[in-house]
Structures are given as C-alpha cells and as structure tokens.
Amino acid sequence: MKRKRLHLLLFCSYLLSAIPILAQTAPGYYLPKDALNQRAFVTENWVYHTGDNPGWADPEFDDTSWESVDTRLTSDQLSTIGWQGVGWFRLHLVIDPDLLDKPLGLALNHAGAFQIYLDGKLIYRFVQSGEQQPEDIGWRGGPRPISFHDKLDHVIAVRYSNLAPERPSMAGFALYLGDLDYMVGQYTDDVARNRSVQGISAHCLLPSACCICCSFCSSVAPLETSTSPSPCF
C-alpha cells in the first residue's frame, strides 16, 4: 500500500512539474498500466532527424525542432523526409507509476539495422550482414527485457539505418512495449505458425500463382536470423 501511494505521489508530482514546459517538449507517448496485460504498438509520436550524431542519444538533447514521423517509413514517407540511409528517432515516454521497476518486454519489427538507447544508455543493437563485431551481437530475435526505474519520464532513442530499402510498405521499424511473458508467448506462437506455413509451402505441388498455399506463404516474412534484417515480432 505504501509503495502504491508513493508511486501515485510521484506521478502527481511529475504532472505538476511538467505543466509549465508541455509547450516546449516534443510529442510523446504515455504507456498505461494495461501494458502489463498486452503489448502496445508504438510507431507514432516519434521525432526524427536525418544524419548521424551520437549526441542525439542524450535524453537532455533538445529535439523540439525535429520532425514528427511514423517510424515505419513507407515509400511515400521516404521521399517526404528526405531519407538518406541513416537517421535518428526519439520518443519521449511517460509510464504509469504501476510500471516502475516491472519486467516489461521490448520488440521490433524492422527492415534495417538499429541501436536502441534508453535514457542515453545503449541497451540493444542489430547490425547488417557482414558488419557485426563480437560485441555487436545483442539482438537474436523475439522480445527482449526492458525496465524503467527511478522516474516516470524517459527517452528512447533509436539510431536506424537502411541503405537500400526493399519493402515499400515498411523501410523503417515498429516498436512494441508490453508485458514480457505475454510478448514471449505471442512470439513463440508466431514462430510456430511461420514454421507450419513454411512446411506447407515446401510440400505444395503447384508452384504457380493459382496455388492458394503458395500465394499465402509468399506474404509471410521468413524467420529472423541474427545477421539479416527481418521482422522479429
């Protein structure tokens, strides 16, 4: 009871302190306590800047002049934002007090390489084939653990690169946050479903456009490996 009361006071204190500067901050995202029972699809309310500067991972960096963008980066978006192969995305995140110190899950559906920073600290990365170093292998598919400590407001920064976009529907990434156990269960089911579909495709006797199972399988992304960009959730 005392812990919940402390979280409530902390949340109210944050809201009161934030009111004078709301007009000066970039768009953000509120993660409700319902995230403990599901997963949240977070692609909007990010801000973006083309180019590459490690300083953009700093949670104190002023990104109010950055452009608001959907991180999935469709073919139409690429031309609009002037995508040059590398850019940074930042999300100002406010979590519900009940999510403090909880073991949450983080997952990305991505078409390129990335580095993920939480409050300025590198927590995960995924590199393109042939680029990885021993210390770079930090993402092997599926949800990864993430926790938010000490405060309710956080900054997630993503350095993202896709030098040769091939998917018109998504050259960027989609980030998910939610309950870790729930997301692991969903990922396990997805992997099993993909394997089942791929098995059907391998035994299809009519390799033509009119073969129902083959046309369905062609729309399913292959399972992820640790060295090639593909959906991981």
**Domain formed by 23-217, architecture:** Sandwich (2.60)
Q: Would you state the pLDDT for residue 148?
A: 95
| CA atoms within 13 A of residue 4's CA, in its CB half-sphere | 2
Task: Give the C-alpha separation, 110 to 170, whole Å.
Answer: 8
The full set of domain ranges for the chain reads 23-217
Q: Which residue has the higher pLDDT, 178 or 223?
A: 178
74-78, 100-104, 168-172, 201-205, range with greatest mean pLDDT:
100-104
Angle, CA of 37, 233 and 53, to the nearest 5°: 105
- pLDDT, one tens digit per residue, over 11-21 is 444 433 333 33
Examine the pLDDT at 23 and tell me if it is beyond 50: no
Measured over the CA atoms of residue 150, residue 64, residue 28 and residue 136, the dihedral's sign is negative
Examine the pLDDT at 9 and tell me if it is beyond 50: no
Alpha-helical regions (H) of the chain: 2-18, 75-81, 180-202, 212-217
Task: Give the C-alpha separation, 38 to 178, whole Å.
Answer: 6
Q: Contact at 8 Å (CB) between 64 and 105?
A: no
